[in-house]
Amino acid sequence: MKVVIVGGVAGGATAAARIRRLDEHAEIVVFERSGFISYANCGLPYYIGDVISDAEDLALQTPERFFSRFRVQMKVHHEVTAIHPDSKTVTVKNLKTGGEFEEHYDKLILSPGAKPTQPRLPGTDIDKLFTLRTVEDTFRIKEYINQNQPRSVVLAGGGFIGLELAENLRELGMEVTIVQRPKQLMNPFDADMAAFIHTQMRRHGIKLALGFSVEGFEETDGGVDVLLKDSAPLHADMVILAIGVTPDTAIAGEAGLELGIKGAIVVNSRMETSVPDIYAAGDAVQVKHYVTGADALISLAGPANKQGRIIADNICGGDSHYLGSQGSSVIKIFDMTAAATGINETNARKAGLDAESVILSPMSHAGYYPGGRVMTMKVVFERGTFRLLGAQIVGYEGVDKRIDVLATAIHAGLKATQLKDLDLAYAPPYSSAKDPVNMAGFMIDNIAGGKLRQWHLEDLSALLRDGNITLMDTRTAGEYHRGHIDGFINIPVDELRERLDEIDPAKPVYVICQSGLRSYIAVRILEGNGFEAYNFAGGFRYYDAVMNDRALVEVAFACGMDK
């Protein structure tokens, strides 16, 4: 059996190694148009920022090492330019010599990845404008920085690559501005959770120009002007486009393979394409979202590795299936960590799901053990069924641990109420006896049992106009005077039982505290005394962070620059 693989890195290289482990006699040839067959894509921004200092560390495998261990022919600087399913051959171009030849296959694996999305805008050919996808792109950016010592950069795009680049370039001492059309960074997060990310970026001196549409680029004054719609241009010494990726599937379409979203290759759960004996994996394929079952594009290294393994199993006589992508991800933002899994509340509602969420601010470990820091968690579930849909966490220590627990719970099909039952490791330096994941489960279980009724930030405007309710802040007098929402009376929770006569029993009571705990206790006191009461999801800390961010984004949009 002869297997030809188009593209190395996560999907292709994984498939090649797995096939060899399953079949010692298969002939395996990998064609990779770059000079690197297996490299750490996710480490590229950190090489630019000198966190990774040795370029050789980016290469996880070399063609020589791969052949020595697996007897796989790794042909770098070779580009497959056409697929001929009828003759089961591919046309290959040697990018060093320019020569072309035909290569026969019994099984063909496509792992071409994705290419940076290139907007059709004037000025994208300016030599001070870069994209980042490959090791070669990384070297070009690094060489330009070393030779020209740019003092400022505009990053177009606020996703994973954009934020990682922003951090690393800022650590090099550059003035960094991120510009993008949506009014938030990091689309896997809801806008309220993204507010904490925005605060962190601003705290480290990164300017945010959110809600701006880029209309082109001009080379001026030794740098680049980024032209914005209805706003003055942003000037910088260099520009990096990080506005997303597009599946690199032109040859697949020309060969008659079925294509889907943004030209991605359509595959079944066995990673088989619409053409017999041709498989596909990685950023080039359309997958099913594990939570919604909808078609999706999810460009992450973990899914690509799994898909390559599944293809290898099936080529070698197995019956492996890809169950879908959940979108679990984590990112370092200076000393902060942000992580997400499943779908956020915004996308859940767009998908037609009746979504609800709980928001909590637990400590990373036991409060009495030194060094604990607050994290903000948002867990999304479906009303009625309590199906767990997704989660987002922003914080410091312990964020990755909790998101992995929640990702596992979603994959296992646990209901959100069952989070309370998980038996999680505890010691004071690492967690609390009631882990934050358990706490989210307790809250959702209280909702399911009718012990907790919530109100949300989007309800506030209507509540402030409603004269037939009571708005109550249960924090201490000192906390209240340091900042509160106008219209809320202050009755500290520990004084509430003695001051119930100050509250109209005929009116529903909407309660807030700093994090949501004291207000929940207040709700239970109120309901135990015959009141109808609702607890604010998130607490004043959450409210303050989100509202301050919204104000800054709107001021920046009105003025043309983030303050």
Q: Which residues are catalytic?
A: 42
Which helix (H) or strand (E) segment holds residue 517: the answer is: helix 517-528
Extract the tokens encoding 51.
């966190």
CA separation for the pair 333, 399 (Å, rounded) = 12
Pull the structure tokens for residue 28: 């395996």
User: What length does the chain have?
Assistant: 563
Nearest to 207 by CA among 234, 241, 176: 176
CB 332 within 8 A of CB 358: no
What's the token pair of residue 294?
């909808």
DSSP conformational letter for 483: S
Task: Decide: residue 119, CB within 10 A, 0-12 exposed, 13-18 middle, 19+ buried.
Answer: middle
Q: Cβ contacts of residue 299 below 8 Å, gap of 6+?
A: 114, 245, 283
Residue 510, strand partner residues: 471, 534
Burial class (CB in 10 A: 0-12, 13-18, 19+), 65: middle
Please, what sign has the CA dihedral across residues 121, 124, 126, 130? positive
Burial class (CB in 10 A: 0-12, 13-18, 19+), 538: buried
Please tell me the distance from the alpha carbon of residue 525 to that of residue 521, in angstroms, as a whole number.
6
Task: Name, in order, each residue with C-beta under 8 angstroms of 464's C-beta and a sequence gap of 6 or more.
Answer: 471, 486, 487
DSSP 15-75: HHHHHHHH-TT-EEEEEESSS-SEE-GGGHHHHHTTSS--GGGGEEE-HHHHHHHH--EEE
Task: Retrieve residue 256's tokens.
Answer: 């008659």
Count of helices and strands (H, E) across the chain: 15, 33
- How many of the other CB atoms lie within 10 Å of CB of 350? 12
- The token duo for 48 is 């630019």
